Amino acid sequence: MGQHLNANDVDRIRIFMRELVIKAVVPYAEKQLKQLHELVTNRKSRSLFSGAKRWFGTNKPNAATGGGGGTSVVYSKEAPELQVLS
């Protein structure tokens, strides 16, 4: 099909692609990068004490049952596995 295009058609396609990238692709990419940056910078920082308290605290859920229930993975709200960018 490209052999049926004249120089004017090629120029118009080039202009269309340039405008598409400038007006649609670049703003979309900037928006996605901004959201990702905000996600990373707004993450709540956890102190060493709260992390140690969580790991070595006495409020373990399986302590009363003898610990025979197996382990499960618990993700925080800030975990990348739970983040969905729209």
* Residue 25 to residue 18: CA distance in whole angstroms: 10
Phi, psi of 38 (to 5 degrees): -65, -40
Tens of pLDDT, residues 25-83:
999 999 999 988 888 777 655 555 666 666 666 655 554 555 555 567 676 777 666 66
Tens of pLDDT, residues 14-25:
999 999 999 999
User: What pTM, to 2 d.p., does this model score?
Assistant: 0.45
